[in-house]
Structure 1
Amino acid sequence: MSLFRRLAAVIGMAVVAATAGCAVNPVSGQSELSLLSEQQEITIGRQEHPKIIEAYGAYDDPELQAYVQRIGERLAARSHRSDLIYRFTVLDSSEVNAFALPGGYIYITRGLLAYLNSEDELAAVLGHEIGHVTARHSVRQISASTAANLGFTLGALLVPELQNRGVSDLFSTLSTALLRGYGREHELEADRLGAQYLAGTGRDPEAMLDVVGVLKNQEQFEIQLAKEENREPRVYHGVFATHPDNDERLKTVVRQAEALPGGQATAPRGPFLRRLDGLVFGESASEGTLRGNAFYHRDLDIALQFPEGWRVENRPDRLVAISPDRSAALQVTVADRNKRISPERFLRDRLKLDDLQGGEPLRVDGLDGYTGVASAGAGADVRNARVAVLYKGSQAFVFLGTPQKADGLKAHDDAMMRSIRTFHALSEEERDLAEPLRLAIIEARDGTTFRELAAESRIHHHAEEQLRLLNARYPRGEPIPGERLKTVQ
């Protein structure tokens, strides 16, 4: 499930009624259209925060969480809405993003945290998100979208006959903004405010530009990967991503903030990097880990090998392996069994596969299963698909292999079945492989190169490029003797 779909799923129906009117913007001091009161804004954050935590999970490191909270609170104390109680949370997600819910709930993923290289850069991300909260960008976005698209009168936000559509559109607007930014003007305003808050706490506003560089490098690397893998790039549109390279307007707001009292200091890099020592990098143990085309899951106690050359995606709700020419895909999901029925009956009754053809029992690593060919799609798009299930304890692991073309199964069926037959419980040797990768902080020696570090790293693909990204040396550049570096072990 994509980040956008997860956000859309957790941004629920928190607003059921509101009174339209005008409010004074805390930043500008100007009166503006507002369909949500401050209390309703806070209510949205309070009700949706647990859903964000349920969807992503809070990263299990109390000291790191407390550290991020302290940095955020210092910035928030200098903000235009210092009376709010702000909550800063590191999410247990490898995705590179940060966002804020209305009312002062601010999130940064460990995936983004891993690529930051100073406390000032962390403060820049948090300050930018505080700026969205203080300027009430989510409220302004909802108000403008509702007024423009739904034609609501100023008397009420939701009228009964439009209630379902209205709430759906409201939160579609909000979740889109969380992921893709609030539009160029609002993003620049959040930058300006964040830079002011940095200067107000004695930090260097130039860190804003450094974070833009981090995200632009991420974008370049993702475009490179997508080209190699023959797919569309998955570029995250969150914090700062609306900025073009060499953005003069951003540089201007940064320079303005630097002129403020205290706007020239730079925090030392070493203490910040020590905070990241041991940070999980990539998938967590609860998500399962990929090592090349092999998948290991500690909590489920399983391992699986996908066909050589297939691109494997570890999504929150499934594994998906895609053939090199993108003409076929094999996905794996897990479901609770609930009833003591045979694997064949599971496919036919539970999954409603009435047309299962060529069925046969499976016995894989001592596990009972069943497989056959079923129809997938509808109308002119009907294709034969390989379906299989393997029982492991109270869980059923379901495999679905689908070709792109109606007659495409034959070309890939053998590879799919070979992959299914590799399914097994973790061996003792594999348990180490099921543990997540973690950052380790080292000191560069004379002659240390990223190629050398990549050869020693457990990163399973593009290790040199990823180490350069982690250390702000992408696409070129080498370590400086004596400097602290992030490696992955």
Structure 2
Amino acid sequence: MVSRYSIVIIVLLCVGCSVNPVTGERDFVLMSEQEELALGRQHSQQVMKAYRRYDDPELQQYVQSVGDRVARVSHRQNLIYRFTLLDSTQVNAFALPGGYIYITRGLLVYLNSEAELAAVLGHELGHVTARHSVRQHSLATTTNIIGSLIAAASGVQGAGQLTNMLGTGIVRGYGREHELEADGLGVQYLINAGYRASAMRQVISTLKNQELFDKKLAIEQGREPRAYHGVFSTHPDNDTRLQQVLSGAGASSVVSGTTGQDTTFLKKIESLTFGDSEKDGIIRGRHFYHPEMNFKLTFPSQWLILNKPNAIAASTPNNDALMQLTLEDLNKKITPKEFLRIRLGITKTLSEKPFSVGQLAGYQAIVNGKTPYGQGKVRIAVVFDGLRAFVFFATTKRADRFVEVDKQVLTSIKSFSRLNAKDRKVAKELKVVLVKVGQHNKSIKLLAKNSPITHHVEDQLRLLNDLFPNREPKLGDLIKIVR
């Protein structure tokens, strides 16, 4: 006998079908185009709360113009597409429903031709034209409904969560197919827009090289390697993607037609910021400088520093100790001690006392608390600076190392100070500069000699110029360095 739950599922599948703009076949979706556009508008506001537009109107317009050229030959030419360059070091590009497409300067800086930029934007266009996010949203919504029905019928409260997890797995699995489809669509759009289709292959190779380099760093730093589009990546393994693209749409075009340097493109991205921006703070060796907030901080020797959007974090090379600095607004006239009690909710401490950093008042304490390593001792310090509170946390994996590490952490906290004229000279953004390869700079080793890049200089210069892992530039070529 067919249950009422089966009938509901059948009804959902029947009413949730619409014609896919790309394939012309019926797809399972529970969202109209108007709802899709509204979802895109909503999510675009969230994106711009998390990111900034890169402050270069001319370069923004260039990215938009390349995107427009590709969009004009896409399957959904009725949409208005917005292509935005984000001020982020992340190597990333992504699309929202309804035509909102983003690329970070962290990815743009590694591209070497307009065709490669068009390939990135064409791939993301493929997600929009094929309504991938809408299809995933519809599948997830249906899975939640079915999960609730199963939970209600079975009385098992976890059934909804279990089915939702299964749904997420299915969505991510379909995501793999979506990525391959987006690659194929991107190749079609490249060809139709007059770009060489081999640029898609080159972009995928660029992403693969980024992953290989990050794996090398991850081993050195004792962490998990990052992946393009996140740890739980919807992008297939790059080798697989490469083979799929080569055997997909426009395959003969993909593997042929390599050209010389795109000097026009290279000149467009000259002066692009490389690495940290002054708005977010600059890392130079052990030192962190924030020109806009007018402070600097020196971390313990050999510690690895990570500049996050909402915090500055540092850890030992083997990741057995860490510290973090966050910034909080002050809303009431309270003391650092009261901040510890009221804002941080700390009432029990192992030790506590006031301290000062230069002319700035602070308060420090050691508490027992939850840490990334489990339960353990935590150093907490608060420093007031005008209308802001700088909040420091530090802990260790092993209890027997806490005293030793705590001394280093306190030294670091007390290094907090205003920037002087010399600091401001050091705390400048690195910018892309083009140089012509000649006898005096004919190798990456020679180019790396005076580079301000602080680590793996040769690797990073090779990544910038599509020479990774061990190729050398050609005499007469324009090559990207940073200054």
Q: CA deviation at 1:115?
A: 0.4
Q: Is the 8 A contact 1:205 1:254 kept in 2?
A: no
Number of the residue aligned with 1:307: 300
1:331 match: secondary structure: strand
- 1:84-99 residue pairs with structure 2 within 5 A? 84-99=79-94
Instruction: Pick from 14, 17, 26 the counterpart of residue 31 of structure 1.
Output: 26
Select the structure with the greater relative contact order (CA < 8 A; seq sep ≥ 6): 1
Q: Can you give the 5+ residue segments of structure 1 that lack an aligned partner in the other structure?
A: 1-18, 154-161
Q: Can you give the 5+ residue segments of structure 2 that lack an aligned partner in the other structure?
A: 1-13, 149-156
Q: Is the 8 A contact 2:296 2:418 kept in 1?
A: yes
Number of the residue aligned with 2:466: 472
2:94 match: secondary structure: strand
Number of the residue aligned with 2:342: 349
Amino acid at match of 1:221: F
The CA distance in 2 between the partners of 1:347 and 1:246, in whole Å, is 51
Q: Is the 8 A contact 1:98 1:239 kept in 2?
A: no
Q: Is the 8 A contact 2:207 2:228 kept in 1?
A: no
The CA distance in 2 between the partners of 1:50 and 1:37, in whole Å, is 20
Number of the residue aligned with 1:113: 108
Say if 2:426 is the partner of 1:417: no
Say if 2:387 is the partner of 1:394: yes
Number of the residue aligned with 2:356: 363
Aligned length: 452
- Over residues 317-360 of structure 1, what are the superposed CA-to-partner deviations in whole Å (9 max), with x where a residue is unaligned? 11111123322111111111222222222222321221233322
Q: CA deviation at 1:424?
A: 0.4
Number of the residue aligned with 2:268: 275
Q: Is the 8 A contact 1:199 1:264 kept in 2?
A: no
Say if 2:456 is the partner of 1:435: no
Question: Displaced runs of 4+ in structure 1, greater than 4 A?
Answer: 238-241, 263-268
The CA distance in 2 between the partners of 1:383 and 1:282, in whole Å, is 35
Amino acid at match of 2:214: E
Instruction: Pick from 192, 199, 203 the counterpart of residue 207 of structure 1.
Output: 199
Q: Is the 8 A contact 2:176 2:235 kept in 1?
A: no
Say if 2:232 is the partner of 1:225: no
The verdict on how the C-alpha distance between 1:126 and 1:289 changes in structure 2, with shifts beyond 3 A counting, is: same
The CA distance in 1 between the partners of 2:374 and 2:207, in whole Å, is 39
- Over residues 451-475 of structure 1, what are the superposed CA-to-partner deviations in whole Å (9 max), with x where a residue is unaligned? 2222211111111111100000011
Instruction: Pick from 423, 446, 450 the counterpart of residue 444 of structure 2.
Output: 450
Pairwise CA RMSD: 2.8
The verdict on how the C-alpha distance between 1:457 and 1:57 changes in structure 2, with shifts beyond 3 A counting, is: same
The verdict on how the C-alpha distance between 1:309 and 1:301 changes in structure 2, with shifts beyond 3 A counting, is: same
| More divergent stretch after superposition (51-60 vs 240-249) | 240-249
Number of the residue aligned with 2:5: none
Amino acid at match of 2:213: F
Identity value in percent? 45
The verdict on how the C-alpha distance between 1:242 and 1:85 changes in structure 2, with shifts beyond 3 A counting, is: farther
Amino acid at match of 1:349: I
TM-score normalised by L of structure 1: 0.86
Instruction: Pick from 50, 56, 61 the counterpart of residue 55 of structure 1.
Output: 50
Q: CA deviation at 1:408?
A: 3.7
- Over residues 64-88 of structure 1, what are the superposed CA-to-partner deviations in whole Å (9 max), with x where a residue is unaligned? 1110111111111101111111110
- 1:287-298 residue pairs with structure 2 within 5 A? 287-298=280-291
The CA distance in 2 between the partners of 1:27 and 1:152, in whole Å, is 31
The CA distance in 2 between the partners of 1:59 and 1:75, in whole Å, is 22
1:253 match: secondary structure: coil
The CA distance in 1 between the partners of 2:308 and 2:68, in whole Å, is 33
